[in-house]
Amino acid sequence: MDLQAQESKYIINTYNRQPQATPLLMRGEGPYVWDDTGKRYLDFVSGLGVNSFGHCHPQVVEAVNSQLKQLMHASNLYYTEPQIRLAERIVSHSCADKVFFCNSGAEANEAAIKLARKYGKIKKANDAHEIITAKRSFHGRTLAAITATGQPKYHKGFEPMVAGFRYGEFNDLESFARLITDKTCAILVEPVQGEGGVYPAEADFLKGLRTLCDDHGLLLIFDEVQCGMGRTGKLFAYENYGVEPDVFTLAKALGGGLPIGVMAAKGEAADILVPGDHASTFGGNPVACAAANAVFTIVTAKGFLEHVAEMGNYFAQKLCELPREKVVDLRSLGLMLGLEINGDGAQVTKLCQENGLLINCIGGKILRFLPPLIVNKEQIDEAAKILQNALTYA
Ligand SMILES: *Cc1c(COP(=O)(O)O)cnc(C)c1O
């Protein structure tokens, strides 16, 4: 039995991979990956926004290698160097004052939800514990994170959900304002909705949420798991809007391919959790933190974020040149792009893959592009050509 066929025998079927159609990826370098037949793909999925600096970035590989030989893991009962250095870098490059380390986006949001509840208990009357999130959002798959996720299809079969979540319309300030009660403790949104179909927030919406939170004593929490770490052309997406959250979460691209998550908090919010309140065995693991430190060096290098913004504009312009009758809408911020098409998105994705381009399709109609941030114009041209062909035949 070949390896792909064994998958469905041994792995619980949560991913819908197909032995005939889904590549077995063996190797990656920069923006490219290769499958077991030696076929090369231009990777505009980037591990769903994880491989933002390309596959096996030499600086990340070097940092991981050297840390691996020195100390692979230590309990958070003790200090470790890469963790403290990384915390200092996140704090010095953001609005945050302190961070908590974990291993994934869902865990980072879980920490933010716990922080918000405790904030409500300490700082507000009436046992305020309700959190308002957005419809069409995505915050991860743990029970609280999936409850925060404003998409009923992800709740189905796992009820009862966690108590205390309410859902407003994204980019509709009034609908959030209406949901605030004396039981509310926080508002949680993605500055750019990713899994929901790539919907950037409007500046007035985020500014309005900031004002609502200030007026009502609520924490404003931004989920930057997908849109953070340079993806939008700024280190953190909130910088595009001139709005600072009280808490934000990171994961995906932060470790350059290794699992790591962060909850970062500012001001009062940074001092809510105390010893015993929260913990993670692997959180702040030295190897993952060494990788993230290398990522920070790359993303903060002179000119890097300007390159992301420039490539984002260039790619958006290329997408605008696609046949008009095929395109319903194009939404983007930096190198996070969603193309809503008139046609069969799954078929387009399949044709692109056959022709050496990996892209992702949301809900059958929205093509999502998360190219590596190191992508150049030639590679964008190559992708646009493959895409145009696929759109013509799908
Ligand atoms: C992917 C994602 C998550 C979940 O991250 P995991 O690492 O899969 O738990 C949470 N929020 C957003 C915005 C995401 O895109």
DSSP 217: T
Percent of the chain residues topping a pLDDT of 90: 96
Residue 4 reports pLDDT greater than 70: yes
Q: Write the CB contacts of 16 (distance below 8 Å, at least 6 apart in sequence).
A: none
pLDDT at position 394 is 78
Task: Give the DSSP letter string of 89-152.
Answer: HHHHTSS-SEEEEESSHHHHHHHHHHHHHHHHHHHSSTT--EEEEEBT----SSHHHHHHSB-G
Please write the tens of the pLDDT for every residue from 59-86. 999 999 999 999 999 999 999 999 999 9
Amino acid at 250: L
CA of 46 to the centre of ligand 1 (A): 14
Which residue would you say has higher pLDDT here, 16 or 279? 279
Question: What is the atom index within ligand 1 of the atom nearest the CA of 107?
Answer: 9
Q: How far is CA 281 from the centre of its chain?
A: 22
Please write the tens of the pLDDT for every residue from 137-147. 999 999 999 99
Write down the catalytic residue from 53, 223, 266, 365.
223
pLDDT at position 69 is 98
d(CA 1, CA 18): 15
Residue 45 reports pLDDT greater than 90: yes
Q: For all residues of the chain together, what is the average pLDDT?
A: 97
Please write the tens of the pLDDT for every residue from 275-319. 999 999 999 999 999 999 999 999 999 999 999 999 999 999 999
- Mean pLDDT is lowest, of 14-23, 96-105, 125-134, for 14-23
Quick one: pLDDT band at residue 1, thresholds 50, 70, 90?
A: low
Query: Which tokens sit at 12?
Result: 């619980």
Has 100 been annotated as catalytic?
no
CA of 225 to the centre of ligand 1 (A): 6
Ligand 1 surroundings by CB, under 6 angstroms: 104-106, 109, 138-140, 190, 194-195, 223, 225-226, 251-252
Please write the tens of the pLDDT for every residue from 319-363. 999 999 999 999 999 999 999 999 999 999 999 999 999 999 999
Whether the CB-CB separation of 298 and 53 falls below 8 Å is answered with yes
Q: Report CA-CA distances (Å) from 18 to 13, 24, 37, 40, 287.
A: 11, 10, 16, 19, 33
At residue 306, the 3 state secondary structure works out as helix
Question: What is the atom index within ligand 1 of the atom nearest the CA of 190?
Answer: 13
Write down the catalytic residue from 170, 205, 246, 252.
252
d(CA 46, CA 23): 14
pLDDT at position 192 is 98
For each of the domains in the chain, give its residue range(s) and CATH number, in order of start. 3-57+302-393 (3.90.1150.10), 59-299 (3.40.640.10)
pLDDT at position 165 is 98
CA of 165 to the centre of ligand 1 (A): 18
pLDDT at position 23 is 95
| Rounded mean pLDDT, 106-114 | 98
Query: Which tokens sit at 235?
Result: 């280190």
Write down the catalytic residue from 44, 138, 176, 248.
138
At residue 377, the 3 state secondary structure works out as helix
Has 296 been annotated as catalytic?
no
**Best residue for ligand 1 mutational test, from 102, 107, 136, 139 (most atoms within 8 Å of Cβ):** 139
Q: What is the pTM of this model?
A: 0.98
Q: How many CB atoms lie within 10 A of CB 199?
A: 20
pLDDT at position 2 is 85
Question: What is the atom index within ligand 1 of the atom nearest the CA of 224?
Answer: 13
Quick one: pLDDT band at residue 25, thresholds 50, 70, 90?
A: very high
Whether the CB-CB separation of 49 and 253 falls below 8 Å is answered with yes
pLDDT at position 393 is 84
pLDDT at position 87 is 98
pLDDT at position 126 is 87
Amino acid at 105: G
3-state secondary structure 71-101: CCCCCCCCCCHHHHHHHHHHHHCCCCCEEEE
Has 138 been annotated as catalytic?
yes
| Rounded mean pLDDT, 256-272 | 98
